[in-house]
Structure formats: C-alpha cells, structure tokens
Amino acid sequence: MGSVIIEKMTKQFGEFTALHDINLEIQEGEFFALLGPSGCGKTTTMRCIAGFEQPTSGKIKIGEKEVEKIPANRRNCGMVFQSYALFPHMNVFDNVAYSLNIKQLNASNPVKQLGIYARLLSKRLGRTPKDIQEKVMKILKYVELDQHADRLTSELSGGQQQRVALARALVMEPAVLLMDEPLSNLDQKLRHSMRNTIRTIQQDLGITTIFVTHDQEEAMSMADRVAVMDKGNIVQIGTPTELYSNPLTPFIADFVGTSNIIDVEIVEQINGTIKLKGDNFLLQSTNTIEKKQAKAIIRPEHIQVLPYDTDVNKEEVNVLEGIVLMSTYLGPTVRYDMKVGDQEIIVDTTYSSGISIFEEGRKVKLSIDHGRVLLI
C-alpha cells in the first residue's frame, strides 16, 4: 500500500506536450479519480505511473519511493485496462494466477524456472502450487467468479471479464490500483452495479486507487477526490462537493454537472452584495470577485420557477421574469429552456404530481438566491 506523489511531471510526444507540469498528491487508501475530456492526458498520466511511459521531466513517487529507475514489471501497480487485456489463451484461473506464478518464477533458480515456464505453457507439464491455488480461489470467490474458474475468458460476459481483470490486478496485492476507464465497455445498468462493486472492494481492502474516467457522474459518485484535467493540465483538485459548489473555472463548472454560464458586467458592490448586469437583465450575488467582466455560474437546479403572478418579496433573492421556450420531461425532473432578457437559461425543477408543467410561451417568474450566483 502507498501514497502516490507526482511532482512537476511533463510528458512530450515529439513536439506535442501531452502533460504540462502535473502535480498530484494521492493519499494512502484514497479513491482518486482523474476526470477530463477525451485526449486530455488521463491515460498518459496513468501509463507514466505504471511505467509504460517515461515522463520527459518530473518525479513520481509510489509509497515515498522514487520510481524513475524501476521498470514497469517491478512497480507493483495493478492495472485494469480499458479493454481488460485478459490473456485469451488462459482460463479465468490462470489469468488470475499469472502474477503469482511470475512472482514464484522470479524468485526461483534457473532450473526451477524451466519447470515453471513449462507449467505456464502447458497445464499437463505441472500443477499450480497449493498456496497459489488458494490465493486465487479466495480472490475469485471475492469477485463471485469461483464458479467460472475453468472457463475461457472469451466465454464470459462483459461484467464478468471486468471482474476477472480486477481480480487479476488485486491478487498481486499492488501498492496502487490503476484503472483506465474500466466501465466504459459495459452497458448502462451493469456500469451502475460495477460502480458499487469496485467502490466496495476498494473500501474493503483500503487500497490506494486511481480511477480514470471521462464520465463526471462516475467520478463524482465513486471518488474521495477528483482531479479535473484539460489539455494536459490539472485544472482543479477537490472532493466532489467542492468541485460542484466551487468550480474554479467555467470549464469545470460545465464539465462537472450542467451549468448556466452567463457573461455579466459588474455594476457596483455594496455591503458584500454585487450588482450584475447581464444581457438585458439584472442579477445580484453575494459572492466576491475583483474583475469588471465576469462569468456568473448558476446551476439549473438552483433556480425556482413560479407562476408569473407570484409575489416574491424576500431579501437575498433574485427575481427575474422569463418566458418558457421549451419544457422537457426527464422523469423525476422537468427541464425548462427559458429566455431571461436576451439570455437563454436552463432550469431544472423537481417534478411531483399535482404541480403543473409550465407550457411553452408562458411568462413566469424565476427566483435565485443571491448566494447561488457563483462568480468566476
């Protein structure tokens, strides 16, 4: 087990810089997600940690130890590949036993090594030692695959293959578990249940885990902390709630959940309240900002829709007039596209029976707490 520390890591492929000066500190036992759009460098970061790529500059420490000189096969990072990368010529048992066999191989003298090679190449040439068998069966039971130990991996479903890959990485008791978009090949339903499986196992074993994904929901629901990456940079690191309520940039606000990102001009500041001017409407915010031009971030669910004739007379609340452009029924929520001034805004309201949906073209009132208007 160990922490992972990355200091000023840069990775270039020829002229192209895939990673700029990355800094990360991942605690022991933490479930850490790397989140970002396609091509932002998540896989590259992970491959540098695993030792498949050499960083152009910078340091990586696993469990306090610098790993630059340690080749990939001795880094003890268990990796779960996006495509699972199971060995097609071995059954489930042998896939999982592989690392233990290799460990034994590396610790043996050349004569014994020949025997182990023979055993690895053909089952008929030797039996797997008892202790390895026991360990493998234990982990297979753990991922509920002990019934399928003799199957070829091609005879398994996607979710089962995923669990073989996980078991194969876990059985070597790695210092860190690296997972590169492990759920992206699964269908929606399976993905949800595998999220729980992975999270539970991680908590159970307390293993330091780095989890790569471009699905924000996945990252937010599973990870202790999330690093958001963009174009080879780390833009923000924080707990899911921090990222959600305090996005540092419009990019994050947009990437982590849905946001209304509105260009505003600061009109004046009085007693901690800022008056803002948007495109033909006014807003107030209790957040602070030093700039003249800013972006106001408002989450769709932080806006309330009220009938036009409602009187709202509360302090600290923005009341705006809007027109419904479109309403979309999304099950538990209703999403409205609204026009406020000359700005289009998305509003999510919880739908419960008895409340009528405002039809298109209807004039409504919108209320937003001053505190919910974030400024960047």
Partner 1 sequence: MKARFNGLSVVKILIYAFFGLFLLIPLLAVFLISFTNEPVNIIGSFTDPAILSSSIEKLKAINLDNYRQIFSNAGYLDSLKNSLSLALVVMVLVILICIPLAYGIARTNMPFKKTISALCTIPLIIPTFISAYAFIIMFGRAGWVTHFYELLGGDGMLINPYSMTGIVLVQVFFFFPYALWPLVAAFKISDVTLEEASLNLGAKNWFTFIFVTFPLAIPGIISSALLIFTVSFSDFGTPIVLAPKDLNLMVVEAYREISGFFNWGGAAILTVIMIIVAAFFFWLQHILTKGKNYGSVSGKPKQQKMVTNKVLTRSLSVYSFLIVLVPLLALLSVLLQSVATTWGKDLLPSGYTLKHYQTIFSTSLGNIQNSVILAIGALVLSVIIAIFVSYFVVRQNSAKMDFMTSIPLVVPGIAFGIALIQTFNVAPLQLTGTAILLIIAYTIRRLPYMVRSTMGAMRAIKQDIEEAAINLGATPLTAAITVIGPLLLPGIAAGSVLVFITVIKETSISILLAPPEWAPMSLAIFQNILRAEYYSAAAMSVILVALVLVLQGLANYIGKKQRL
Ligand X SMILES: Nc1ncnc2c1ncn2[C@@H]1O[C@H](COP(=O)(O)OP(=O)(O)OP(=O)(O)O)[C@@H](O)[C@H]1O
Site for ligand X (CB under 6 A): which residue of 40, 92, 201, 256? 40
Site for partner 1 (CB under 8 A): which residue of 16, 38, 88, 188? 88
Q: Could you tell me how many residues of this chain bind partner 1 (CB under 8 A)?
A: 31
Q: How far is CA 38 from CA 16, 187, 346, in A?
A: 16, 19, 25
**Residue closer to partner 1, measured from CB, 49 or 296:** 49
Stretch that binds ligand X, among 40-48, 85-93, 119-127, 265-273 (CB under 6 A): 40-48
* Span 158-177, contacts to partner 1 by CB under 8 A: 168-169, 172
120 binds partner 1 (CB under 8 A): yes
**Residue closer to partner 1, measured from CB, 91 or 99:** 99
Select from ligand X, Mg ion, partner 1, none the partner in contact with residue 17, using the beta carbon and a kind-dependent cut-off of 5 to 8 Å.
none
Terminal-residue alpha carbon distance, the chain: 39
**Residue closer to partner 1, measured from CB, 87 or 329:** 87
Select from partner 1, ligand X, Mg ion, none the partner in contact with residue 317, using the beta carbon and a kind-dependent cut-off of 5 to 8 Å.
none
106 binds partner 1 (CB under 8 A): yes
Sheet holding 77-80, edge to edge: 77-80, 176-180, 208-213, 31-35, 225-230, 233-238
Site for partner 1 (CB under 8 A): which residue of 79, 179, 297, 303? 79
Reported as half-sphere exposure (CB side, CA atoms, 13 A), residue 168 has a value of 27
- Alpha-carbon span 36 to 254, nearest angstrom: 11
- Alpha-carbon span 269 to 273, nearest angstrom: 6
152 binds partner 1 (CB under 8 A): no
Q: Could you tell me how many residues of this chain bind ligand X (CB under 6 A)?
A: 12
Select from partner 1, Mg ion, ligand X, none the partner in contact with residue 244, using the beta carbon and a kind-dependent cut-off of 5 to 8 Å.
none
**Residue closer to partner 1, measured from CB, 32 or 98:** 98
Least distance between Mg ion and beta carbon 230 (Å): 14
343 binds ligand X (CB under 6 A): no
Site for ligand X (CB under 6 A): which residue of 33, 43, 93, 225? 43
* Span 35-54, contacts to partner 1 by CB under 8 A: 50, 52, 54
- Alpha-carbon span 227 to 350, nearest angstrom: 30
**Residue closer to partner 1, measured from CB, 16 or 38:** 16
Non-local CB neighbours of 13 within 8 Å, separated by 6+ positions: none
Least distance between partner 1 and beta carbon 227 (Å): 22
Pairs from 134-141 (Cβ < 8 Å, separation ≥ 24): 135/100, 135/171, 136/93, 136/96, 136/97, 136/100, 136/171, 139/96, 139/167, 139/170, 139/171, 140/92, 140/93, 140/96, 140/167
Contacts with ligand X by CB under 6 A lie at 13, 16, 18, 36, 38-44, 214
Which residues bind to partner 1, rule: CB under 8 A?
13, 50, 52, 54, 72-74, 76-79, 81-83, 85-89, 98-99, 102-103, 105-106, 117, 120-121, 168-169, 172
